[in-house]
A and B are shown apart, each in its own frame.
Chain A
């Protein structure tokens, strides 16, 4: 039976999650140099177009058709069989297509996250091919294993409410692979890139936080108490993480920065994503406070030391945040919050923590290997990185023949 309240909420949530991709575009766009801002916006927006089509043609089928094995299969190609009556095994009170379009927005934003790793140096054509292959061979299988009916991680009991593994660890590891293969931006040591438009970063963060309520609370797939729990812990974790990062900076660098505060808030949102439907508010605060510590170390200590050029910290924030969130779910999950979930280690069930760890390791391993293969393939076919002259002149002019800001009019 279609419930109008649930359907309204899920449709609204789908719109909120879609908003997160333009939000991400500005979040990232403000962080790059002026000469590359359009390329970041372009990559994000083209993903919205290309994956919306990909999703309804094959992506949804590959990810969610009930099946054991590698992925869902082709039964729902072109949304054949996906109608307006509910599909009870996924969401009993909303039209099947509502569930499908909601999931579409997740499929869109996940590859967009990776943009943060190869910003300012990837060829646009290579980016398109890479994204399509990645959506097909990394996102769809992983999505199926964790969320699809018949998915083996789902059957094992892995808890991922809104995409800590499927979205954030997934994209974060792909980001690391990309950063390693592409190599550092030219003249990185001499010309330390600074964000060209911090207000964009803040704008993006605000819209991301807003949209994340659709990302997490919408994953309840109903307008009910569970959605409320997810909403509450999402806000709380983001707030805690933002404060935590600001405090770390204040102590370590002398002053808190807006960039740090935004990074912390986003890290908190990432970390609470897998946990939102399973933990209560006090664990949410702990999760938020700690994720900033881990992400900060990854970004400010480990990255400079190891020297990989993850331009916009997609790995440091999304992967590390996602790993902590997935593991924290194994610690703090409680059946009192969600009877359909499980108890975590701190509620007397250490087994869940082991399942979560396994899920994290599988995600890392699979994504790392397949992303690597896809990258190498695209590199062999058409070359993935722009040449040095193009990189110095900027991607906006060289890849798109456009300039973001007029200097003289």
Chain B
């Protein structure tokens, strides 16, 4: 079992979701985060005081998958999010030790859904 974490541009969320649904990946968690890689942010100025740090809004997806879904998920995210420009984002694949469905108390691959 793997946990896939993807950081993408907020404007790409709908497309990524569509691509995932097309691959029958329907269970995801979405949150809003701040961050930047090499994409430059914008320096904000408040009454003359410059705020450096220039973090940009990003969307973070978390998807738990079984082994055979890892590649389709990665491909779907790339399909939806890639523009070729700096700032497209990143995908991380983590080992997932355990997964539990709360409603039925199932564990393991079955619980991933």
Residues of A within 8 A of B (CB): 35, 186-187, 190-191, 392-393, 397-398, 401-403, 407-408
In the assembled complex, which residues on chain B have CB atoms less than 8 Å from the CB atom of A392? 9, 11
CB contacts under 8 Å to A, within B9-48, are: 9, 11, 13-15, 32, 34, 42-46
Q: Can you name the residue of chain B whose Cβ is closest to the Cβ of A191?
A: B14
The answer, yes or no, to whether B3 is at the interface (CB within 8 Å) is no
Which of these, B34, B42, B46, contacts A398 with CB under 8 Å?
B42
CB contacts under 8 Å to A, within B52-87, are: 55-57
A sample of 26 cross-chain residue pairs with beta-carbon separation below 8 angstroms, ordered by A number, consists of A35-B57, A186-B11, A187-B11, A187-B14, A190-B14, A191-B11, A191-B13, A191-B14, A392-B9, A392-B11, A393-B56, A397-B42, A397-B44, A401-B42, A401-B43, A401-B44, A401-B45, A402-B44, A402-B45, A402-B46, A403-B44, A407-B32, A407-B34, A407-B57, A408-B34, A408-B55
A186-B11, A402-B44 known; 4 new pairs, CB 8 Å cut-off, are A392-B11, A401-B45, A402-B45, A407-B34
Min CB gap B61→A, angstroms? 16
In the assembled complex, which residues on chain B have CB atoms less than 8 Å from the CB atom of A191? 11, 13-14
Min CB gap B21→A, angstroms? 13
CA of A393 to CA of B56 in the docked complex: distance in angstroms? 9
In the assembled complex, which residues on chain A have CB atoms less than 8 Å from the CB atom of B57? 35, 407
CA of A165 to CA of B45 in the docked complex: distance in angstroms? 41
CA of A393 to CA of B11 in the docked complex: distance in angstroms? 9
In the assembled complex, which residues on chain B have CB atoms less than 8 Å from the CB atom of A408? 34, 55
Min CB gap B47→A, angstroms? 10
Q: Can you name the residue of chain A whose Cβ is closest to the Cβ of B33?
A: A407
Min CB gap B16→A, angstroms? 11
In the assembled complex, which residues on chain B have CB atoms less than 8 Å from the CB atom of A187? 11, 14
In the assembled complex, which residues on chain A have CB atoms less than 8 Å from the CB atom of B45? 401-402
CA of A401 to CA of B15 in the docked complex: distance in angstroms? 28
Min CB gap A120→B, angstroms? 13
CA of A392 to CA of B57 in the docked complex: distance in angstroms? 11
CA of A190 to CA of B18 in the docked complex: distance in angstroms? 10
Report, nearest first, the 5 A-B pairs whose CB atoms are least far apart.
A190-B14, A397-B42, A392-B11, A401-B45, A407-B34
In the assembled complex, which residues on chain B have CB atoms less than 8 Å from the CB atom of A403? 44
Q: Are B42 and A393 in contact (CB under 8 A)?
A: yes
Min CB gap B15→A, angstroms? 6
Q: Can you name the residue of chain A whose Cβ is closest to the Cβ of B56?
A: A393
In the assembled complex, which residues on chain B have CB atoms less than 8 Å from the CB atom of A402? 44-46
Min CB gap B85→A, angstroms? 8
CA of A392 to CA of B59 in the docked complex: distance in angstroms? 13
Min CB gap A398→B, angstroms? 7
CA of A397 to CA of B43 in the docked complex: distance in angstroms? 8
Q: Can you name the residue of chain A whose Cβ is closest to the Cβ of B53?
A: A408
In the assembled complex, which residues on chain A have CB atoms less than 8 Å from the CB atom of B56? 393
CA of A186 to CA of B34 in the docked complex: distance in angstroms? 22
CA of A330 to CA of B44 in the docked complex: distance in angstroms? 53
CA of A398 to CA of B57 in the docked complex: distance in angstroms? 13
Min CB gap B60→A, angstroms? 12
CA of A371 to CA of B32 in the docked complex: distance in angstroms? 40
In the assembled complex, which residues on chain A have CB atoms less than 8 Å from the CB atom of B14? 187, 190-191
CA of A186 to CA of B9 in the docked complex: distance in angstroms? 14
CA of A304 to CA of B46 in the docked complex: distance in angstroms? 40
In the assembled complex, which residues on chain A have CB atoms less than 8 Å from the CB atom of B13? 191
CA of A392 to CA of B44 in the docked complex: distance in angstroms? 17
Q: Can you name the residue of chain B whose Cβ is closest to the Cβ of A402?
A: B44
